[in-house]
Amino acid sequence: MEKYYNLINGELMPPASGEYFENINPADGSDIVGLFPKSSAKDIELAVQAAKNAFHLWSDMPPPGRGELIYKAGELLLANQERLAKVIVREMGKTMPESMGDIKSSA
C-alpha cells in the first residue's frame, strides 16, 4: 500500500502528527487506495508560510514567464490525462468520462 506525504515548500513531508488515514475506493470497499497524511494546524502553518514566501518569487516573475509555467502545467495534465483519470476514478468513485472532463477543464 502506498503512503503519501504533504508537499510543502517543494519537499515531501510526513504530517506533523505522524498520523495517516486510509483512503478507500468508494466503489470497492476492499480496495485501499493508500495511506494519506492526517494533517494538523502545524502542517497548515508550514504550508501557508511556504506559500507566502513563494508569492514574492511569483509576483517578481514577469507575466509572460508566469503564463508559460501555467501553460506547461496544462500541457502536463493533458499529456497524463488518462493515467490521472484512472486515479480519480479509484479515489473519488467518479466515472471515467467525468474524470477525463475534470482534467480537461483544469488544463
pLDDT band of 13, cuts 50, 70, 90: very high
Section 75-89 average pLDDT: 97
Cα 13 to Cα 18, 23, 98, distances in angstroms: 10, 18, 31
d(CA 58, CA 68): 12
Interval 53-70: pLDDT, tens: 999 999 999 999 999 999
C-alpha cell at 20: 495517516
The 10 Å Cβ neighbour count of residue 62 is 8
Render pLDDT for 21-36 as a digit per residue (tens, 0 to 9): 999 999 999 999 999 9
Looking at the chain, list the stretches that DSSP marks H as alpha helix, in order from N- to C-terminal side: 41-60, 63-79, 81-92, 96-106
